A and B are shown apart, each in its own frame.
Chain A
Amino acid sequence: MGYAVDIFLIAVSAALINNFVLYYFVGICPFIGVSRRVEMALGMGGAVTFVISIASFLSWTITTLVLMPGAPLTRWAAGFFLPPEAAAAVDLTILTYIVYIFVIASSVQFVEMYVRRFYPPLYKSFGVFLPLITTNCAILFACLVIMGHVVGVENPAEAWDLGKALTLGFFGGVGFTIAIVIMAGIREELELCDVPEPFKGAAITLIIGGILAMAFMGFTGVDSGLRAALGGG
């Protein structure tokens, strides 16, 4: 029961309370650039969610098995050269960023090839976004948050397992999709309005984003309320 509550709270937090775009400011570039039509926004959001989930899975796996101090594979490899205590202390987290970006770039490439081959209509609708997603902050951010909850946690029992990592990734992508679709809907209406010349384009989008962020601020504190209501985790 406690575990399910935890998963639920992580999901709600990632999607709404600490929305990736409106609270953490990641994924702003597609938010401003791609959010002009709702279908395109949905396509972009779907692509990002898909890639974030894959990247979360891979980054958690690699961090837990190889990078963190005391990781099984590293300990085994270092055991050939060092006494067991020293082998357990070998810390490869210096490689984190390079490894993550490597993984993200490769998984995006892999997904693009797969979708292009087996789902051509899907590729036509959002395939063009996939190379853009490689440099999307949201993916790397999700991986870093997961790393933060796995490495350097004082109490090893609190370290996140795969389920929590995947939840954060997937629902972070869902939150991104929600924000970008709302923005696209508003911008479609904005096309018919008389926006003053200096504000046209990115400036008015940012101001609307600010008002949207204010609206989402209304969710602050919901997670502690939910936690209390669901009996704590």
Chain B
Amino acid sequence: MVSSAWVTIGLSAGVLLAMAMVLGYVLGWADRKFRVEVDPRVVKVIDVLPGANCGGCGYVGCGEYAEAVVLEHEAVNKCVVGGQRCALDVALIMGVEVGETLPYRPIVHCGAHYEDRLGRHEYRGEPRCSAANLVTGVQACTYGCLGFGDCQQACRFDAIHVVDGLATVDYQSCVGCGACAKACPRNIITITPFKSEQVLAVACSNKDKGRDVMAVCRVGCIGCGACARISSLFRLEDNLSTIDYDAYTPECSLEVMEACKKCPRKRLVFVGIPTPEDRRKARDLEAPDVVEPDFKTTVDDTEWRG
């Protein structure tokens, strides 16, 4: 008779082998029986998409968008993060043509920091833009940035921050998903096609005229129309200068520079990824003191009165 130890070893090996075979067989059977037909193009499209799952295309995740493209003939150029290259890759997989897509980036249409805003009062309430927007008196300008950071909270890429009370975009981190624009209760963030790394923007949303604007803000657009007189790129709508981004090309720089100089409130600014010259200039600047707001909420001092 064989020794007990060898039998144990032999049976152990036998059990493992038997398990491997049985489970392998069962899983193989299940794989065939429970097969879900997935269009292989969906997998290819998912591979090509950036995978950020940001929701900028309007779908919950890259997987959903890929399915929509393949199964429901969704447009191939909806991915903001992937941009033109991604749209071309997806178009290649689907065998369609695609037009040119541009990167979309947010522009904050307000340029007033805390010291520029007049008529600010102590606000005791929930420190959120959506809440502060519902009450009067937080600041005199009812159009501009409130600075409580709803956009900063909404951004998943750490690309927008409230600096000295004004929402400021970090264009190097931004992917263009549009979450900040959706979060802003005053709708002063627009998602604009950037035809070059830096584009011109009107940093104001105030629709009042002249004296009324100057009473609420030191830097708001007064609707004087100087820019519109210089170039047809600008149009005055509701006492506010607006730029026609379809007509905007990086080549119209001469007119644009003149308009920027002529603006009495200096509201025409270039926004985008900083150029090397900007960086050099910034190196010599002293960083300003950041003013931290001291917002109290109602629970700090008041008693609960039921």
User: Which residues of A are interface residues toward B (Cβ below 8 A)?
Assistant: 66-67, 74, 77-78, 81-83, 86-87, 89-92, 94-95, 98-99, 102-103, 106, 109-110, 113-114, 116-118
Select the residue from B4, B10, B20, B36 with max chain A CB neighbours within 10 A: B4
Instruction: Tell yes or no: B252 within 8 A of A by CB.
Output: no
Residues 1-41 of chain B: 1 if any A CB is under 8 Å from the residue's CB, otherwise 0? 11010011011101110011001001100110111100000
Chain B residue numbers with a CB within 8 Å of A98 are 16
Asked if B34 and A99 make an inter-chain contact with CB atoms under 8 angstroms apart, the answer reads no
The one of B11, B16, B27, B35 that contacts A78, using a Cβ cutoff of 8 Å:
B11
Select the residue from B15, B20, B35, B36 with max chain A CB neighbours within 10 A: B15
Q: A106-B27, A113-B31, A116-B34 are in contact. Are A92 and B15 (CB under 8 A)?
A: yes
Select the residue from B1, B8, B10, B26 with max chain A CB neighbours within 10 A: B8
Given contacts A86-B7, A110-B26, 18 further A-B contacts (CB under 8 A): A66-B15, A77-B11, A78-B11, A81-B2, A81-B10, A82-B2, A90-B7, A92-B8, A95-B15, A99-B15, A102-B23, A106-B23, A106-B27, A109-B27, A109-B30, A110-B30, A117-B33, A117-B34
Asked if B15 and A91 make an inter-chain contact with CB atoms under 8 angstroms apart, the answer reads no
Chain A residue numbers with a CB within 8 Å of B7 are 78, 81-82, 86-87, 90
Q: A81-B7, A82-B7, A113-B34 are in contact. Are A102 and B12 (CB under 8 A)?
A: no
Alpha-carbon distance between A103 and B18 when the two chains are bound, in angstroms: 12
Chain B residue numbers with a CB within 8 Å of A66 are 15
Chain B residue numbers with a CB within 8 Å of A77 are 11, 14
Residues 245-285 of chain B: 1 if any A CB is under 8 Å from the residue's CB, otherwise 0? 00000000000000000000000000000000000000000
Chain A residue numbers with a CB within 8 Å of B26 are 106, 110
Number of A-B residue pairs, CB cutoff 8 Å, is 62
Asked if A83 and B1 make an inter-chain contact with CB atoms under 8 angstroms apart, the answer reads yes
Alpha-carbon distance between A193 and B280 when the two chains are bound, in angstroms: 40
Alpha-carbon distance between A210 and B4 when the two chains are bound, in angstroms: 50
CB distance from A196 to the nearest CB of B (A): 15
Chain A residue numbers with a CB within 8 Å of B10 are 81
Q: A102-B19, A102-B23 are in contact. Are A90 and B11 (CB under 8 A)?
A: yes
A-B contact pairs, 22 of them (CB 8 A): A74-B11, A78-B7, A81-B1, A82-B2, A82-B4, A87-B7, A90-B4, A92-B8, A92-B11, A95-B12, A95-B15, A99-B16, A103-B23, A106-B27, A109-B27, A110-B26, A113-B30, A114-B30, A114-B34, A117-B33, A117-B34, A117-B36
Chain A residue numbers with a CB within 8 Å of B15 are 66-67, 92, 95, 99
Asked if B12 and A94 make an inter-chain contact with CB atoms under 8 angstroms apart, the answer reads yes
User: What 8 A-B pairs have minimum CB-CB distances, sorted nearest first?
Assistant: A117-B34, A113-B34, A106-B23, A81-B2, A81-B7, A113-B30, A86-B4, A78-B7
CB distance from A192 to the nearest CB of B (A): 9
CB distance from A230 to the nearest CB of B (A): 40
Residues 284-305 of chain B: 1 if any A CB is under 8 Å from the residue's CB, otherwise 0? 0000000000000000000000
Alpha-carbon distance between A99 and B13 when the two chains are bound, in angstroms: 12
The one of B11, B14, B23, B36 that contacts A116, using a Cβ cutoff of 8 Å:
B36
Chain B residue numbers with a CB within 8 Å of A113 are 30-31, 34
B20, closest chain A residue (CB): A102
Chain A residue numbers with a CB within 8 Å of B20 are 102
A102, closest chain B residue (CB): B19
Alpha-carbon distance between A83 and B2 when the two chains are bound, in angstroms: 10
Alpha-carbon distance between A118 and B34 when the two chains are bound, in angstroms: 8
B19, closest chain A residue (CB): A102
A114, closest chain B residue (CB): B34
